[in-house]
Amino acid sequence: MPRLSSNSSATLVQLQDVRFAYGERVILRGIDLDIPRGKVVAIMGGSGCGKTTLLRLIGGQLRASGGTVNVAGQDLSRLSTRELYALRRRMGMLFQFGALFTDMSVFDNVAFPLREHTDLQPELIRDLVLMKLNAVGLRGAATLKPAELSGGMARRVALARAIALDPMLIMYDEPFAGLDPISLGVIGQLIRRLNDALGASTIMVTHDILESLQIVDYVYFISEGRIVAHGTPDEIRASTDPFVQQFIHAEADGPVPFHYPAEPLAHSLLGRGAA
């Protein structure tokens, strides 16, 4: 597999032959990928192919059953819990729908990681929160509660919270899910801008290929536990790979099957199957 970057100091995250299974169920069968410093990289693939699992492996919430996950020059499997925790503080994560704390104001939501993980004085926390909210265009909404926000605004607050600690690596799981087309464009631009302003690297799991191609530097496609295609947005647009084509043209069926693996329908309907 050709690698995106062969210079290790330019690579923030490197996965080599990473394998993972939930019990008997094998999800990843040997993933090789690089996330270069400063870049925004999208990971795409069919539903249930293991994208979120991959983010959790990089975040150290799951341990690979084989291969190596290396972040900022550190092999995660060799870190103590304390070292892993320290590394995780340098990662910002926004998981699916990035729920805000509903009983806290926008300000307190963004202040939460700063209060939790630093000993900064309240005045400094205040300034940092206002700067983060300003970066996502919501400084004026600091006193609102999540229930008073639109879906797009709530997502922007979640972004501000994910970058509160100035992470070196930001991971987004489906950052566009459930957004209208305008908010989707706003969030896409923000993901790019925040990455560049922080000098961070970004990994984004998404189904939204057209939006992603506008903002990312590189895309990896996963299928059946392996990377099956990868390239820059221009390479992806020009690709004749059937897998990539299925994504670009949003075709329901193709190399990525519509159906979750199951016994034949007739078998299920006759009541002989498990479901």
Site for ligand ATP, rule CB under 6 A = 22, 25, 27, 45, 47-53
Residue with smaller CB distance to ligand ATP, 53 or 195: 53
CB of 222 to ligand ATP, least distance (A): 7
Residue with smaller CB distance to ligand ATP, 32 or 173: 173
Nearest residue to 31 (alpha-carbon basis) of 265, 221, 274: 221
CB of 207 to ligand ATP, least distance (A): 7
Residue with smaller CB distance to ligand ATP, 52 or 109: 52
CB of 125 to ligand ATP, least distance (A): 33
CB of 23 to ligand ATP, least distance (A): 7
- 149 token code pair: 């926000």
SS3 of residue 258 by DSSP: coil
What residue spans of 10-141 are helical by DSSP H?
Answer: 51-58, 81-88, 106-117, 122-135
- State the Cα–Cα distance between residues 81 and 172, nearest whole angstrom: 23
- State the Cα–Cα distance between residues 219 and 33, nearest whole angstrom: 10
CB of 101 to ligand ATP, least distance (A): 23
CB of 49 to ligand ATP, least distance (A): 4
Residue with smaller CB distance to ligand ATP, 44 or 128: 44
Start-to-end CA span in the chain (Å): 39
CB of 193 to ligand ATP, least distance (A): 25
Crossing angle of the two packed helices 181-198 and 122-135, in degrees rounded to 10: 130
DSSP conformational letter for 260: P
Radius of gyration from C-alpha coordinates of the chain: 20
- Is-contact 114 129, C-beta < 8 A? yes
Residue with smaller CB distance to ligand ATP, 51 or 230: 51
Long-range pairs for 21-29: beta carbons < 8 A, 24 or more residues apart: 21/65, 22/53, 26/225, 27/53, 27/225, 28/53, 28/54, 28/57, 28/64, 28/225, 28/226, 29/224, 29/225, 29/226
Residue with smaller CB distance to ligand ATP, 48 or 140: 48
Residue with smaller CB distance to ligand ATP, 20 or 107: 20
